[in-house]
Amino acid sequence: MSNIVVVGTQWGDEGKGRVIDLLTRRVGAVVRYQGGSNAGHTVVVNGQRFVFHLIPSGILHRGKKCIIGSGVVVDPEVLLKEIEDLQKRGIIVNELYLSESAHVVMPYHKQVEEWEENQRGKLRIGTTKRGIGPAYTDKIARRGIRISDLLIKEALRKKLIINLNFYKKLYGIDFSIDELTSKYLSYGEKLKDYITDTSLLIYQLMRKGEDILFEGAQGTLLDVDYGTYPYVTSSNCIAGGACTGVGIGPGKITEVLGVAKAYTTRVGKGPFPTEIKGEIADALRERGKEYGATTGRPRRCGWFDGVILRYAARINGLNKIILTKLDVLDKLNKVKICTAYRYKGKIIRNFPAQESIWKESEPIYKELKGWEKDTSKITSFKELPQAARDYLKRVEEIGEVPIYLLSVGPQREDILAMNS
C-alpha cells in the first residue's frame, strides 16, 4: 500500500497538476484535501489544455476515483460548471465523490472578501477573489454551511438565517433568504449523487489495499500557519493538512513528494526574497507562460530559492522532489540559486517567520553557468548538458532533498527520471 501526498514547495503554481496526472496511473484514487476554486491545476493532454479548480486532475484517467475531501471549501456553482465542461469535452465524470462535511463558499463570502481587501488598501493580500478566506472564517467561527446542508431544506434555511443576519449587521450585505435557500438546494439536488462520507470511503479503499494520492493545492509558503503570513491562503497546504483535510491518521501516509519549479514565481502580494525584475524576469514569464491559471494575473518571477526548499523539505517531511520547467531556463547564460539570506549583516540559513525579516533580507546567490541548449526534447537524464546537471546537483545539495523526477515541457511525456 502506498499513500502519497503531493505538495507545492513554493508559493503554488509549481506544476502539481501535471505531476498528479502522471502519478494517478499508479493509484486507485486521488483526493483534494484543502483550498477551493482559488487553485488552478493545468494539465496538457494530446495538445488539449485542461484547467482544474476543484476536481482533482486525476479525473482525466478513466476508472480512478476522484475525491474532494472535507478540508476543501466548495463553490457549488464552480464545481457544477467544471463537471459540465468536462462532460462537454467527452470526459466521463462518474467517479467523483464530494465530502458531505466540506464547507460551502457562498456569494456573501466573495462580497466580504472584496470589502476586506478594500479596507486593507495598500496592505491588501491580492487574493483570487473566490471567497476562500471568508468561507474558512465561517468554518472556524462555527457558523459555516456544509455540503450536507444543501440536501436538507430546514437545515440550510436555519443556517442561512443566522449567517444572513450576521452579514447584514456587520457588513450591510443583504441577500434574500428564500432565493439563496432555493438556489443552494437546487445545487444540492444536482450534486447529490456525488455527495458521500469521503473519510469512510478512503478508509474502505485503504483496507482493500488501494494506493491513494493526496493532492495539495497552493504551496508551502501559502500555508496559513507556516507560510508568509499574512500573505497566505486560509488553509493548511502542507502535507500535514492531508490528514485533517480528508480524515485519515498520519500513520497512513507512506510518502511525501514535493513539487518545485526550477525557478520561483508568486502571484498576489507579499515578500519574495529572490524576486527579479527586468529582462530576465520577463523572459521567464514569457517562456514559462507565467500567468495565473485562475485569475490570469502575471506572476512575479525570480531565481530558485534553496532556503525555501530546505524549509519545505522540513515542514512537509519531503522524501524527494519533482523539479518542473527546467527547459524555461534553457536560454540563460547564467543561472542563480539562493543559498541563504543576509539580514542586517547576519547570515540566515533557515526561513524566518517574521514578515519584516523577509522584506529586508537580501538573497545570497550561488551563480552557475547556463547551459544555453534546448532540453525540451531530451528523454533521459544522461542526455542533459553538463551545466544543467550541475544546476540540478546544486539544487539537491542546497535544498537538502533528492530530485526524483524532472520535467522539461508541458506534455505528459516530457518527464524524465533522475536515474535515466
From the CB of 259, what's the least distance to ligand IMP, in Å? 12
Contact range with ligand IMP by CB under 6 A, out of 81-89, 150-158, 226-234, 249-257: 226-234
Query: For residues 322-341, which are near ligand IMP according to CB under 6 A?
Result: none
Check binding of 9 to ligand IMP (CB under 6 A).
Answer: no
Q: Please name the residues in contact with 51: beta carbons below 8 A apart, sequence gap of 6 or more.
A: 40, 41, 42, 293
State yes or no: is 109 an active-site residue: no
State yes or no: is 53 an active-site residue: no
Using omega within 30 degrees of 0 as the cis cutoff, is the peptide bond preceding 230 cis?
Answer: yes
- The three-point CA angle 268-391-387 to 5° equals 130
From the CB of 229, what's the least distance to ligand IMP, in Å? 11
Contact range with ligand IMP by CB under 6 A, out of 33-41, 163-171, 379-387, 395-403: 33-41
**Residue showing cell 462518474:** 94
Check binding of 39 to ligand IMP (CB under 6 A).
Answer: yes
CA distances from 73 to 8, 84, 203, 213, 222 (A): 19, 19, 21, 19, 16
Q: Which of 268, 273, 288, 399 binds ligand IMP (CB under 6 A)?
A: 268
Query: For residues 100-139, which are near ligand IMP according to CB under 6 A?
Result: 125-128, 130, 132-133
Q: Whole-angstrom Cα distance, residue 362 to residue 344?
A: 9
| 47, burial (CB in 10 Å: exposed 0-12, middle 13-18, buried 19+) | exposed
From the CB of 51, what's the least distance to ligand IMP, in Å? 11
Question: What percentage of the chain's residues is helix, strand, coil (to nearest 5)?
Answer: 40, 20, 40
Dihedrals phi, psi of 317, to nearest 5 degrees? 65, 50
Length of the chain: 420
From the CB of 372, what's the least distance to ligand IMP, in Å? 30
Query: For residues 228-247, which are near ligand IMP according to CB under 6 A?
Result: 231, 233-234
From the CB of 172, what's the least distance to ligand IMP, in Å? 22
Check binding of 72 to ligand IMP (CB under 6 A).
Answer: no
User: Which positions are catalytic?
Assistant: 13, 41
Residues that bind ligand IMP (CB under 6 A): 11-13, 38-40, 125-128, 130, 132-133, 217-218, 222, 231, 233-234, 267-268
